[in-house]
Structure 1
Amino acid sequence: MHSLLRGKHFITTQEWTVEELEMVFSLAERLKQEFATGQLHDHILRAKTLFMIFFDNSTRTRNSFEAGMTQLGGHAHDLSPDKLQISHGENAKDTAMVLSRFGHGIAIRHCSYGEGNKYIREVAKYSSVPVINMQCDMYHPCQILADYLTIRERFGRNTRGLKLVVSWTSAPKYVRPLSVPQSLILMMPRFGLDVTLAHPPEFELMPEIVAQAKKNAEEAGVKFEIVDDMEYAFKDADIVIPKSWGPLVHTQDKEEGVKLIKKYPKWICDSRMMSLAKKHAIYMHPLPADRGFEVTDEVIDGPQSVVYDEAENRLHVQKALMALVMGGRP
């Protein structure tokens, strides 16, 4: 497969043009159709290797990448620091220099606040093969690709004018990263969606990300607003993505973070909240969802929920991404 994107790192959608991202969606749609009809495409990355390094546990990310590599004809190594010399102090440069001589791509998930993105960029600096961000403390670009493909499937390719709500929800079991909401507010305006970000005061996102999202919206000629009222945000929405994240900009203390999350138990997506959105509105979540805190069973298991379509689309967009950056002419 010839690819103009061969060898390009994928750390954030912000570093890819809309046209380049469209290449991913176009190929993902084709590969999804082939998968559904039983057509094989195992020639695309035949005998190629992806090294997956997980600093954090994973269900959808690990399995969608590994299955995707198998279906493209390649192989994925499931790695973690304890399986590598990272656990003994090997630095990012040495890991990158060695693994990139063994295979054809490196994918990393590292969500520690203030560390993850820096580590991925350090690996990318020294890697001679493309590096894919499987989620860090700042971005979760593959998830957002799957989200947008799901939206296109429901509303058509012209998504201009749709109202998308990214809302904080209360989930006190643990403090979650900022990467999903930040990636959503960055990419969705670039494809013509009006974005409303809703959260309590202590749960603001990184200022530099918010500033870039505002700039993206201005350049695309769409709306971007930030509110502190979940009900107001949901009014007349076409797409709602209620998702918990931690007060990490406010504090990195885990105990204080959990206390702040528990302060807002009414920030939950239930049927009353969904009734404020448009009748055709869809409910989305990257999963795992904290049922009973982030969302009620009635909503997540209801007719407006597309969470499993969204999860499946991780496979297809990542296959397209890997084909484009790891494939092409040798």
Structure 2
Amino acid sequence: MSRDFLSLADAGGDMVAAMINDAIDRKAARQGCAKGKADADAPLAGHVLAMIFEKNSTRTRVSFDMAMRQLGGSSIIMEAGSTQIGRGESIADTARVLSRMVDAIMIRTDDHAKIEELAHYADVPVINGLTDLSHPCQIVADLLTIVEHGFALPGLQMAWLGDGNNVSHSMIEAAGLMKFTLRLAVPEGYEPDAGFVERARAAGGEIVITHDPLEAARGAQVVVTDTWVSMGQEGGEAHIKALEPYQVNEGLMAQAAEGAMFLHCLPAHRNEEVTDAVIDGPQSAVWDEAENRIHGQKSVLLWALGKL
């Protein structure tokens, strides 16, 4: 059975946990292998993933391509500007055509309504590679990194510093599904979507919204931030000024729990949202996190295609 992955809730907490376990096992089994070599079982041999990019990408593009190669399949990269979508073909017609040609579709786009429309008309799984509303694949990699570094998800104490953006929405969703505490320190007017907060609290996550960065960081086992101005976002200078007090620096990390870990989904604007000393320091796991996009993506693909 094929399934869309537009949000973490599409899979649910038990299956997200299964994805993490699968990713850990597959990653361990590849130790010493060439990066382009297929996994021994090659579970997606003969399968093709279409990747549609309406926004620039490094990690999403490479990780999905490598994920398909390691699972034994292949991918087709489609830049919106070089496809008929860029010339006005409807999302519905694109979905119908691609469903006849490939086994799954990943899209990285601006408007979440586009991915919902794509999923409605497609007969194959549709995967959210990023929208203006959420970024669930990134959070699978983040949760994998957290578990890999020895932290248990239920009861975890996490701090988010910065903007209540699309990545924070998916992390809020994760807190509800995996039952951990997430304290978000954001400026007034930059709070995350209230619907995500309400659903996560109803599911059993503890979500705290504060305007005090030190309150959020105090005792946190994991500290997370993101770029202050996303691609295509307007009002950059005002945005940066509002967020300056939320920079993750050595002083803020000193408030976190002993042995706390720092995460950032990248790309980083160094010495804006995070200092060099933190991102390059011993508490940073951002390079593990970036690599884990491959391993997390593999498990998402297997789940979406009914093989997990």
TM-score range, shorter chain: over 0.9
1:193 aligns with 2:193: no
Tell me which of 149, 153, 173 is aligned to 1:159: 153
2:215 is the alignment partner of 1:232: yes
- The CA deviation string for residues 169-224 of structure 1, in whole angstroms up to 9 with x for no partner, is 6xxxxxxx9210110011123212111011000211222222222222xxx2x522
Structure 2 equivalent of residue 215 of structure 1:
202
* One-letter identity of the residue aligned with 2:42: H
Does 2:19 align with 1:24? yes
Residues 276-311 of structure 1: CA distance to partner in whole angstroms, max 9, x if unpaired?
A: 111210000001111010111110000000000111
SS in 1 for 2:51: strand
For 2:144, the aligned partner's letter is L
CA shift for structure 1 position 327: 5.5
Equivalent pair of 2:161/2:185 in contact (CA under 8 Å): yes
Counterpart of 1:65 in 2: which secondary structure? Answer: helix
Is 1:122 aligned with 2:117?
yes
Question: Is the 2:12–2:177 Cα contact (8 Å) retained in structure 1?
Answer: no
- State, as a whole percentage, how many aligned pairs show the same letter: 35
Q: Is the 8 A contact 1:178 1:246 kept in 2?
A: no
* Aligned equivalent of 2:50: 51
Q: In structure 1, what is the equivalent of residue 281 of structure 2? A: 302
Partner of 2:92: 93
Is 1:317 aligned with 2:296?
A: yes
Deviation at 1:260, TM superposition (A): 3.4
Shift of 1:78: 1.0
Q: In the alignment, which of 163, 171, 175 is matched to residue 184 of structure 1?
A: 171
1:138 offset after TM fit, Å?
0.8
Give the gaps of 5 or more residues in structure 2: none
5+ residue gaps in structure 1? 1-5, 170-176
User: Which of the numbers 146, 150, 163 marks the counterpart of 2:145?
Assistant: 150
RMSD of Structure 2 on Structure 1 (CA): 2.0
Distance 2:275 2:25 in 1: 34
- The question of whether the paired residues in 1 share the 8 Å contact of 2:185 and 2:246 is answered with no
What pairs up with 1:248-263 in 2 under 5 angstroms? 254-255=234-235, 257-263=236-242
Which residue in the other structure is 2:192 paired with?
Answer: 205
Q: Name the CA shift for 1:253/1:60 in 2 (closer, same or farther; >3 Å).
A: closer
Runs (4 or more) in structure 1 with deviation over 3 Å come to 244-247
2: CA distance between counterparts of 1:104 and 1:22? 24
Shift, 1:143, TM fit: 0.4
Which residue in 2 is equivalent to 1:241? 224
- TM score, norm. by length of structure 2: 0.92
Q: Structure 2 matches for 1:71-90, cutoff 5 A?
A: 71-90=70-89
**TM-score where L is the length of structure 1:** 0.87
AA matched with 1:19: D
Q: Within 2, Cα distance between the matches of 1:264 and 1:17?
A: 32
CA–CA distance in structure 2, aligned partners of residues 240 and 88 of structure 1: 42
In 2, distance between residues paired with 1:253 and 1:11? 22
After superposition, the Cα gap between the structure-2 partners of 1:268 and 1:328, relative to the gap in structure 1 and judged at 3 Å, is closer
